[in-house]
Amino acid sequence: MTTARRVPRQIRYRVVTVTQGLLPAEVVRTYLRSHGIPAVLRYESAGRALGITVDGLGEVQVLVPARWERQARRLLRAREHPRRPLRARRAAPARPRGRRRPPTAGRSR
């Protein structure tokens, strides 16, 4: 009796955005991953090793699997153009200023 092996299918990736430099691409990748979308980066290794960001060497592509492309683009669009401004957080109540008294527990008189 022979067992049939299941051949893993290839995952097709789509470019959702292109950045100049690795740091902005890492921010986008982390943002997508925080929303549950797997993302990978594709870039020229010479640009990173030499620190050159001229003539396409600093270009970094952010890729996601094809089935996540629509959701990833929607998230990136919403991130760039928020519909509502963010609300400011309520300020914490101010602490009284002045000298603090040391705790009295465990002190000998």
Which CATH number does the domain 13-80 belong to among 3.30.70, 1.10.3470, 1.10.287, 3.40.50?
3.30.70
pLDDT of residue 100: 66
The phi and psi torsions of 15 (rounded to 5 degrees) equal -80, 125
The phi and psi torsions of 14 (rounded to 5 degrees) equal -125, 140
Strands 59-65 and 13-20: antiparallel
User: Mean of the per-residue pLDDT values for the chain?
Assistant: 78
pLDDT over 90 at 1, yes or no: no
Quote the pTM value: 0.62
CB 14 within 8 A of CB 69: yes
List the structure tokens of 13: 């990736």
pLDDT tens digits for range 49-102: 666 656 667 789 999 999 999 999 999 988 877 666 555 556 556 666 666 666
